[in-house]
Amino acid sequence: MKWCYGFVFMLFLLIFTNSVSAQKKSKKEKNQTEVHSEPVNIDKKDSLIKKSVEIPIIEGAQILFEKEVHDFGKIIQGDIVRYQFKFKNIGNKDLIISDVKGSCGCTITQFPKQPIKPNQESTIDVSFNSAAKMGPQNKNLAVYTNAEPSLKVLYIKGDVVSPSAPSYLQQQKSN
């Protein structure tokens, strides 16, 4: 009689694990997205992605940056340098950027306050003030959106050098 209980228990366990496995497979298939190949361009002069790439059809808003790290290279102390992080909403709903915060007071950001429509491009402008800085600098920008994930981190870096740096830096600055 004991073997009968063991047999019933094993049968129950087998049925239970199969149903859990089927539910996980169903959820996984439901969350997969369709993939289409299409070029993504900002305009004819400056393309966000220079070649055709596979972009998934994404439910909701989704932000795709041209690049997430910008290196200013050598910066003369006291200079204010600027960069525009280009991005595109590759989702199917409006993208809303609620805030962009720099890791220190030396970075100032400007970002679009209006919703970014699907397939629309825009920029996040960042200024870095190198006054009172010296040596390698690594700063981050926290971008808060309604996309998933809601936080995207961008990075700027550079090497702040003395104003009495070699003359090639002065020439580079004037270009």
List the end-to-end C-alpha distance of the chain, in Å, as a whole number.
91
pLDDT at site 72: 97
Residue closest to 148 by CA, chosen among 110, 96, 70, 109: 96
Residue 58's pLDDT is what?
A: 75
Closest CA to 153 of 99, 80, 74, 89: 99
The larger pLDDT score, comparing residue 7 to residue 138, is at 138
pTM above 0.85, yes or no: no
| pLDDT tens string 106-145 | 999 999 999 999 999 999 999 999 999 999 999 999 999 9
Q: Looking up tokens 């169903």, which residue turns up?
A: 26
Higher pLDDT, 168 or 64: 64
Torsion of CA 56, 61, 67, 69, to 10 degrees: -130
Tell me what the pLDDT averaged over the chain comes to.
78
Distant-in-sequence, close-in-space partners of 68: CB < 8 Å, separation ≥ 6: 85, 152, 153, 154, 155
The yes-or-no verdict on residue 11 having pLDDT over 60 is no
The rounded distance, in Å, linking the Cα atoms of 151 and 114 is 18
Peptide bond into 149 cis (omega under 30): yes
In the chain, pLDDT over 70 holds for what percent of residues?
61
Asked if the model's pLDDT at residue 150 lies above 80, the reply is: yes
The whole-number pLDDT of residue 160 equals: 96
Q: State pLDDT tens for residues 32-65.
A: 444 343 444 444 444 554 455 555 567 899 999 9
